[in-house]
Amino acid sequence: ALPISGINMKEAWQKAPLTSLIILIQVLVFILMTLAGGSTNSQVLVEFGARYTPLIKAGEWWRLITPGFVHIGLTHLVVNSVTLYFIGMYIENLFGHWRFLAIYLVSTLMGNLASAVFLPQSISAGASTGIFGLFGAFLMLGLAFWDEPAIHSLAHQFLILVLLNLGIDILVPGIDLAGHLGGLLGGFFMAAVVGAPRLGRMDLLKRFLSGTILIVTITAFLEMGLLK
């Protein structure tokens, strides 16, 4: 049976320690930011690692990852943590712990890289770049294992969810559309690179091509906005 069938939430939580750890880090960072002056304070956001392109170009490359653990206000933290709770447990169970972490971190990097290039003067933060990457991983599974009814059905549902979210991104001002799209692409291609052995074997050529596309895209983004 596929690991996704009949997942018990308590059991899934125990089997998804990295998802749990990421959420815990987000909460701890939020508490520290609140004590330091507030998570909506621009100076505090920058001090705790929010994405700000001029500082990345100055050599603070960790800001392509750290924004994924920083949130702007309590609502932002709660919405992203709840979303990560559900989607993260599924992906960590389907791919395994370290493949999940690779997908999440590469998605976060890709999302913040796209955001840094296309929104260079803004300050941004949040786990949504990584979360969109997990959406992208699900879409990849839908293509790679389209003949598995459970996977195909869930991938279809996530496609609808992604389209709805992107529609909201377009209509609502202030949302980082570039970051979400970058994370989505990063998750899709990184999921193909690492594969999903728990579900079955994936074509090596497709995995190689996915890795090539990922590297070329990251290099292009760097050349476009951060290495000049």
Give me the active site residues, please: 128, 180
Residues 6 or more apart whose Cβ sits within 8 Å of residue 37: 43, 44
DSSP string, 130-146: HHHHHHHHHHHHHHHTT
Buried b (16+ CB within 10 A) or exposed e, 35-47: eeeebeeeebbbe
Q: How far out from the chain centre does Cα 106 lie?
A: 8
DSSP 8-state symbol, 226? I
The residue written with tokens 């320690």 in the block is: 17
Q: Tokens standing for 69? A: 């653990």
Q: For residue 35, is it left (φ>0), alpha (ψ between -120 and 50) or beta?
A: alpha
Q: What one-character DSSP code corresponds to residue 69?
A: G
Q: How many residues does the chain have?
A: 228
Report phi then psi at 100, rounded to 5: -60, -50
Structure tokens at 77: 């933290």
